[in-house]
A and B are shown apart, each in its own frame.
Chain A
């Protein structure tokens, strides 16, 4: 797809997503708009997709491993909660979350220069557990298992975002900027270098690609996306405790990328939809919903290794063939 067509499709999707909570019956369309809970879930999907984009950069594009994304989301969430409760403006807390997780991501990337695959996964797993222990045990800072409550939603140039639709649009705006930034990076020579790193690091190095630097950059950028997602997560839920930042959610982020389509741009959005929206739609089956969800995930992963996006791409190219 050309750059212009990609941008137009992106803009179209942005407009449609922005209209999701809007009641369109007044303009003669049979769509009443999402209610409060639906808008909350859609906001959660956007926040989750931002963190999943970071994992996709590290795993899908640069070919590394990470089981620490939930820990980075936690760092961003706690930093934002603590800072904004202390009176620091949200904008500064958000930027600080991105910068801090970027810096920690560089440090976490160093083991990737020495170990690969499951060894690297275990290094990041250890980091994830370490962060979770800090979130749980350092009560003076994080509130321990009781967590931090009454995290206020910010204002945008004096326009309060307390109301759920406004906050949704705010998150959508930030998610759009971050999506555009990642798209730009991936279509630039940097993106080609990340792909080269995934496909053949030894050859890439022999062609002048500084494999060390790009590995660290992938970890830093991917982790910063986790931190910024966390910074939005805290005011969204208004209460945080250590449980969403444990190892299980980190595995879920990995699942999102794989099931959506690792190394595909739309993969994290689809994967986040599977992880956040699908369980909500399956709630109608009450106690069976987790069972149905697990079976669906297993089928997709076993039958379509390219994920949902890979499946659609295959269907489209198959159809395009004479």
Chain B
């Protein structure tokens, strides 16, 4: 079976610092892959290389067999790949509903039809469904900036799914979210994965969250993959324990 995402020999350095050193892995449809590792292990750089935010020095990224290395994020998004960011990235002056419509509008019709067509680009009903799905329905008309941190995290995640993306890369979705909200976020992500077979790649520091959510993990340290496997296997791996606890 061809992998949905194939990452091959990715290398990226900044000046003299080699952030990612020859990382390769595959992600198959419907899988939830976790990428973990201590601070500075190259997780975010790897994400940014996959998503076209930065161009790798070497290596390739393919989605559905198509080479997308260095492709601009907007074009990658139109191929069905979306992401969330480590720091909150919603549009604070737009309403919650408008944030969702914005997240899907560039996938609807032509640019001219978006100028002359409906104000909501025909996404009003989809946005309402997504609001209900992420339990944000009561906040549809509140500006995103007025939501709590946890609610903004939910909105941030919901936006990544508005365009019907097949592959979603989530950068620390649990960061700063309280335990109740976190359980809700995990529940929603699992539901989407179940219902739509959407594929996730998740960077996360919250081990409890990542162990519960992901079906497979890869562990990065100093820009290299040091372990890979099911969460319970990775947890017991001596190399992983050493990377996290140090000498």
A residues at B contact (CB < 8 Å) = 185, 187-190, 192-193, 195-196, 199-200, 202-211, 213
Contact = CB atoms under 8 A, between A and B. Distances in A.
A73 B82 CA distance: 41
Interface stretch (B11-19, B91-99, B180-188): B91-99
B106 interface: yes
A116 to B, nearest CB: 17
B242 to A, nearest CB: 35
Nearest to A206: B73
Contacts, number: 83
B101 A192 contact: yes
Given A188-B114, A188-B119, A200-B89, A193 B51 contact: no
Contacts of B111: 213
Nearest first, the 4 A-B pairs at minimum CB distance are A208-B106, A208-B77, A203-B89, A189-B114
Given A206-B77, A208-B74, A189 B91 contact: no
17 contacts: A188-B115, A188-B116, A188-B119, A192-B105, A195-B94, A196-B91, A202-B53, A203-B90, A206-B73, A206-B85, A207-B77, A207-B102, A207-B163, A208-B77, A208-B106, A210-B74, A210-B106
Contacts of A199: 91-94
Contacts of A188: 114-117, 119
A200 B91 contact: yes
Contacts of B89: 200, 202-203, 206
A192 B106 contact: no
Contacts of B28: none
A189 B77 CA distance: 17
Contact of B102 (A185, A193, A202): A193
Contacts of B77: 205-208
Contact of B83 (A189, A193, A196, A206): A206
Most buried by B among A193, A200, A205: A205
Interface of B: 51, 53, 72-74, 77-78, 82-83, 85, 89-94, 98, 101-103, 105-107, 111, 114-117, 119-121, 159, 162-163
A160 to B, nearest CB: 36
A193 B106 contact: yes
Contacts of B82: 206-208
B115 A209 contact: no
A207 B156 CA distance: 11
A61 B121 CA distance: 19
Contact of A187 (B51, B83, B119): B119
Contacts of B106: 193, 207-210
B73 A205 contact: yes
Contacts of A195: 91, 93-94
Contacts of A208: 74, 77-78, 82, 106-107, 163
A189 B122 CA distance: 10
B102 A209 contact: yes
A189 B74 contact: no
A189 B159 contact: no
Contact of A207 (B93, B117, B159): B159
Contacts of A187: 119
B142 to A, nearest CB: 14
Nearest to B123: A189
A199 B91 CA distance: 6
Given A190-B115, A208-B78, A210-B74, 10 more contacts: A189-B101, A189-B117, A192-B105, A196-B91, A199-B93, A205-B73, A206-B74, A207-B82, A207-B103, A210-B106
Contacts of B90: 203
A190 B114 contact: yes
Which residue, of A189, A192, A195, A196, has the highest number of chain B Cβ atoms within 10 A? A189
A271 to B, nearest CB: 20
Contacts of B102: 189, 192-193, 196, 204, 207, 209
A205 B119 CA distance: 20
Contacts of B107: 208
B72 A205 contact: yes
A50 B117 CA distance: 25
Nearest to B122: A189
A201 to B, nearest CB: 11
A205 B106 CA distance: 10
B31 to A, nearest CB: 21
